[in-house]
Chain A
Amino acid sequence: MDLVTFDKPPISARERKLSRFMLFFEDLIKVPIFHCQHCGECLLSSTGFVCSQRCPKRLRNGPCGGTRDDGHCEVFPERKCIWYRIYRRSKLLGRIKLLYKINRIHNWNLEHTSAWLNVFRKRIEGLVLFVPKNLDIENINDTQRKN
């Protein structure tokens, strides 16, 4: 399993400019609807279209052990635990199987870059639109990499 998203190829100055341009249009959609935090490695489609990066610990692989009984965050008790919302939304949309995926360690060089461009340049995995019925949770990381 690949743990880290590597900088291959390295991000050129030209690409950074292009990324900034694309980020403008990306923000128009992602900020109002998903409260995008600009991690540059978008996980939205595997987390039930709720941005996981709103978690105070910025967890990418499920909730920490501190979710309160009413589903609220341990750090900000007035807020719902974002992973609680991800679970509820994934259940609603039938995308629970995607939560069995181990997401890679965040590449901080991609912070504040356009995720769309990163998908196009094959730095990160693309959107998962449909969850196949026979998706095997045992090999979910392998199947996704092939796409």
Chain B
Amino acid sequence: MTLREKINSGKFIVCGEIGPPQSCDGDVIRRKAQYFKGIADAVNITDNQTAIPRLSSIASAKILLDEGVEPIIQMTCRDRNRLAIQSDLLGAAALGIRNVLCLTGDYQKLGDNPEAKGVFDLDSIQLIATVAQMNSGYLLSGREMKKAPEFLIGGAANPFAVPFEMRLIRLYIKVKAGVNFIQTQPVFDPELFIRWMEKVVEMGLHEKVAILAGVMPVKSVNTLLHMREDVPGVKINDVYIRRMEKAADPQAEGIKIAIEIIQTVKNIKGVRGVHIMPFMWESIMPTVVKEAGLCN
């Protein structure tokens, strides 16, 4: 079953995430793929996340595909103009990749090549609309393709950033542009997430788009502190920081918190799945999924 069929069937979706290495070692991806095989419905491959060059998202996705794991490629607007985006998408479709997550991308100044020229020819919403147009058989120039790709279009949403209403407007126009599923930033503030989901249900968007709540298992309190200080747009409830500080075994506590958050978001109306981001800790994925009772 492909991700599209699973979403249409109403199954509770579990997505994973793999960060490609900063080298040409494809075996890293092959090894990490084993943690997701039979566990996750699809796996995101980040595209030069935090503006640091890594093994390409499409190449990694092809490796995953060969390993029997369904990939979701990320496509950012930071590194490509509209020509490169269209050609990369056509190339991905030719390799058999069926899912694409459309993002604006982290600003290059935040990475390890701060002197780089950022492209930002399109933004994430225009990228979603571009992929939707390509799905309908037309390139941006208006030229008709002989064979149209069939991408399942994903987008990101950040329920925790200010202003709250603007985040709902963004989600609304992403849905209007043709997005099929939404992955949110990691939930570390369930109350705010519940409030956001209530508004989403009120606007009727949960029926048009599958919302997958982000969950991030953390290894130590330092990861949480780093995320709160250095990753803009992430909100972390102090309760979790205190719990991680006090815990005798931070790793076990991190897993416990992740499972608690999964159980909470699972019962929220409109949430159709979870997107688990085990940052630099892919080996924990099977434990989290099994203990949260999400295994089929």
**How far is B234's CA from A66's CA once the two chains are assembled, in angstroms?**
8
A65-117 with Cβ < 8 A to chain B: 65-71, 74-75, 83-84, 87-88, 96, 99-106, 108
Interface residue ranges of A1-48 to B (CB < 8 Å)? 1, 3-4
A105 and B82 contact, Cβ closer than 8 Å, known pairs A58-B120, A61-B123: yes
**Cα-based distance from A74 to B157 in the complex (angstroms):** 16
B237 within 8 A of A: no
A128 at the binding interface (Cβ < 8 Å):
no
Looking at A57, A58, A84, A87, the one whose CB has the most chain B CB atoms below 10 A away is A57
Closest B residue by C-beta to A101: B173
Which of A69, A96, A137 has the most chain B CB within a 10 Å cutoff? A69
- New A-B contacts (11) at CB < 8 Å, excluding given A3-B126, A65-B161: A56-B107, A58-B120, A62-B173, A65-B158, A67-B232, A69-B162, A71-B162, A74-B110, A84-B163, A84-B166, A100-B169
B173 contacts A100, C-beta separation under 8 Å = yes
Q: Bound state CA distance, A99 and B140, in angstroms?
A: 24
Q: Are B233 and A57 in contact (CB under 8 A)?
A: no
- The residues of A that contact B220 with a CB separation of less than 8 Å are none
Known contacts A3-B140, A102-B129, A105-B121; decide if A64 and B104 are in contact (CB<8 Å): yes
Closest 9 CB pairs of A and B: A65-B158, A74-B232, A66-B232, A61-B125, A67-B161, A75-B107, A62-B170, A66-B233, A87-B166
CB distance from B48 to the nearest CB of A (A): 15
Asked whether B125 lies within 8 Å of A102 as measured between CB atoms, the reply is yes
Closest Cβ of chain B to A37, distance in Å, is 13
| Contact B166–A83 (Cβ < 8 Å) | yes
Question: Does A63 belong to the interface (CB within 8 Å)?
Answer: yes
A119 located at the interface, meaning its Cβ lies under 8 Å from any Cβ of chain B in the complex:
no
Confirm or deny: B130 has a beta carbon within 8 angstroms of a beta carbon on chain A.
yes
Q: What is the interface size of chain A, counting residues whose CB is below 8 A from a CB of the partner?
A: 37
**Main secondary structure on chain A at its contact with chain B?**
loop
* A interface list, Cβ under 8 A from B: 1, 3-4, 56-71, 74-75, 83-84, 87-88, 96, 99-106, 108, 137-138
B165 within 8 A of A: yes
Query: Does chain A have a CB within 8 A of B109?
Result: yes
B118 is an interface residue with CB less than 8 A from chain A: yes
Q: Are B233 and A3 in contact (CB under 8 A)?
A: no
Expressed in whole angstroms, the Cα–Cα distance for A69 and B177 within the complex equals 27
Instruction: Contact check, B165 vs A102: say whether CB atoms are below 8 A apart.
Output: no
Q: Which residue of B is nearest A141, CB measured?
A: B176
Chain A nearest CB, measured from B89 CB (Å): 14
Identify which of residues 18-50 in chain B touch chain A, using a CB-to-CB cut-off of 8 Å.
Answer: none
Whether A63 and B170, one on each chain, are in contact in the complex, defined by CB atoms closer than 8 angstroms, is yes
Q: Is B235 an interface residue (CB 8 A)?
A: yes
Cβ 8 A contact of A59, one of B120, B169, B177, B232 = B120
CB neighbours of A102 from chain B (8 A): 125-126, 129, 173, 176-177
Question: Is B156 located at the chain interface by the 8 A CB criterion?
Answer: yes
